[in-house]
Amino acid sequence: MTANIFKRVLAVLIIAGLAACGGGGSGGLLSGVGSGGTGITAGTVTGFGSVIIDGTRYLDTKAIYDITGDTSAAVLISPTLAKIGQQAEVATDTNGNATAVHIYPEVVGLVTSISASTNTITVAGTPGTRVVANASNGALPITVYGGYTQFSNISIGDRVEVHGLPMTDSNGAYVAASRIDLKPSICTGGCAVRVTGTLSNLNTVAQTFTLNGLTVNYSGSTTITPSGQSLANGERVSVFSATPLSGSTLTTSTIIIRKLSTGASTLRLSGAISNYTSNASFTVAGVTVTAASATLTPTSLALANGVNVTVNGNYDPVAGKLVATSVSQYGSSQVLSELHGNITNFVSVANFQVRGTLVNATAASFSGGTSANLQNNVYVEIFGSVSNNIVNAATVAFQTAATDSDGDLSGVVSGYLSPTQAFTITLDNSGSPGTTIQAILTASPFFIGCTTNPCTDLANTVHVSVHGVLQANGVWLANTVTFLLGTQQAENDNGSNGTKEVQGIVSNLTGNTFSLNGITVNYSGSTTISGGTLSNGVQAQVYGTLITTPSGSTMTVSKIEIDNDH
């Protein structure tokens, strides 16, 4: 968007990852140090309305969100930028509520090879990082796509961000992808690269080592975190370079050693078992686990190398072990995608969003209303399953937002009071015209699409979308304000036609046409394009006339805004 997203950068994020010990499925953890957390949960984001990790909800009304991807250090982000399928580590307090959500991809780089027969791509060099997408294996996370509709859309030369579980098979290490996002390939000064893997061939004199087939060069100016740690063969590390690869060589400015925070008291980890000797000694996500007295689910569960599990227990920092209280067999087929929030970007029953996630509700069972009641700003609870880039809803329940619910509400601002940062929003909602809500900004909100820094665009008559949390007094505490391109017309034909604004990742850009959330977008020389260069992989907001027919949806747009910070 114009001026992109104004956000704060963490100068240093203390990282706690885990040393890899060989074998399948070792991974690393970011610590919750500095976030006030006493526990850590690591796994796949499976939903929102709170943050939901592998089917378990953690209240996130007071949590900070950050991501370590395109930048050398973690960057604070709006909760709206978190996505289903990302890998996250949630720091929790003594009540089990989230205090911080750390999001981290395994690899960011260019696709160098594709094997359609095995749903495999190679990313960041040759041989690079092997990534395997999953459409049906219930023992692993199902791959979610952003900017693509399916695996076959990926092309050699695409720049992607991959989230997933580190695994090992007979061909060596690979990433079982839980999410693959198309990223912008046009970057000022060159596009950044991030690679995660097990360090080998360390030469401290030449200051080089090998990582996923790449030669990594470092120097005395390279930042290594946690501070005071030394590199060693067998460590699981994440390396970052602000510039592209030179052949198969990466010159890194930042190395993160993944070691577990000794401040964590409780752990919940998902991953593949490795280094199994008995139920009293094996490894999950790089953590040594003893489960001799743990409850196994199902009771017939046989622990062994390569079995994917979720482990709960208490961490013993003296012994350096997770003492498991329960071990359950992991299965994405047993974990439904779950969304709680307001509908946004409504196009049709088959194409709308909740918490930034595309939803198709054509086969859903409805309660509290019917498909005709689906429209922007309506609060719903959705359970379903992921298929490629969309959640196919099994159930949709119309609800009233309760205290501590988070949601996304759009409309026109009035009654704005600068000293208190309080205002009224008249909602875009043809079913209840004139409906208003009260909102007030947090102390440090995120602004998306603002034209000034610091942002001064919030004013009466401005059209916005706010993301926030409903307080007990009925006021929405807004942590994110997105400035929209225009007012949407009242909806016709169940909302599928009229003047609309839709946000998503640009793909299939050819001539004056591109795809956005499954919609064919047409623009012309008279279309206003602001905020950056239109290209595949950029986050864009489009405003124009939407027409939906049985054969699909098209938009002819008058305005396009670009936001490269996604």
Which residues are bridge partners to 439 per DSSP?
423, 476
Task: Say which CATH topology domain 107-183 has.
Answer: OB fold (Dihydrolipoamide Acetyltransferase, E2P) (2.40.50)
| pLDDT of res. 431 | 64
Please give the Cα distance from 27 to 21 (Å, whole number). 10
Q: Which SS3 state, helix, strand or coil, does residue 454 take?
A: coil
| pLDDT of res. 287 | 85
Tens of pLDDT along 113-145? 999 999 999 999 988 999 999 998 888 899 999
Tens of pLDDT along 45-82? 999 999 999 999 999 999 999 999 888 889 999 999 99
Sign of CA dihedral 285, 287, 289, 295: negative
Other CB atoms within a 10 A radius of the CB of residue 161 amount to 24
Burial class (CB in 10 A: 0-12, 13-18, 19+), 296: middle
The proportion of the chain whose per-residue pLDDT surpasses 70, expressed as a percent, equals: 90
Task: Say which CATH topology domain 498-563 has.
Answer: OB fold (Dihydrolipoamide Acetyltransferase, E2P) (2.40.50)
| pLDDT of res. 286 | 76
The answer to whether the beta carbons of residues 218 and 238 sit under 8 Å apart is no
For the domain covering 406-483, report its CATH number: 2.40.50.320
Per CATH, the architecture of 193-257 is what? Beta Barrel (2.40)
Q: Whats the size of the chain, residue-wise? A: 566
Every domain of the chain with CATH number 2.40.50.140 lies at: 107-183, 193-257, 498-563
What contacts 473, CB < 8 A, 6 or more positions away?
A: none
93: which 2 tokens? 């307090």
| pLDDT of res. 29 | 52
* Stated pTM of the model: 0.91
The answer to whether the beta carbons of residues 174 and 165 sit under 8 Å apart is no
Please give the Cα distance from 361 to 384 (Å, whole number). 9
Please give the angle made by the CA atoms of 462, 467 and 471, to the nearest 5 degrees: 110
**DSSP secondary structure letters along 146-189:** ES-SSGGG--TT-EEEEEEEEEEETTEEEEEEEEEEEE-S--TT
> At 475, which amino acid appears?
V
The answer to whether the beta carbons of residues 318 and 324 sit under 8 Å apart is no
User: Do strands 436-448 and 476-483 pair parallel, antiparallel, or not at all (unpaired)?
Assistant: parallel
163 has pLDDT over 70: yes
Q: Which of 107-111, 282-286, 503-507 has the lowest mean pLDDT?
A: 282-286
Q: Which of 19-23, 227-231, 271-275, 538-542 has the lowest mean pLDDT?
A: 19-23
The answer to whether the beta carbons of residues 49 and 84 sit under 8 Å apart is no
The tokens 């690393």 sit on which residue? 28
The answer to whether the beta carbons of residues 141 and 64 sit under 8 Å apart is no
Nearest of 202, 198, 204 to residue 239 by alpha carbon? 198
133: which 2 tokens? 């997408």
Indicate the helix (H) or strand (E) that contains 226: none
Every domain of the chain with CATH number 2.40.50.320 lies at: 406-483
The tokens 């089990």 sit on which residue? 96
Q: Which SS3 state, helix, strand or coil, does residue 376 take?
A: coil
What 8-state DSSP symbol labels residue 566? -
What contacts 46, CB < 8 A, 6 or more positions away?
A: 52, 53, 54, 55, 84, 335, 336, 337, 338
The answer to whether the beta carbons of residues 311 and 326 sit under 8 Å apart is yes
Please indicate whether residue 408 or residue 266 has the higher confidence score (pLDDT): 408
What 8-state DSSP symbol labels residue 487? P
CA distances from 188 to 242, 352, 458 (A): 10, 33, 29
What contacts 227, CB < 8 A, 6 or more positions away?
A: 12, 14
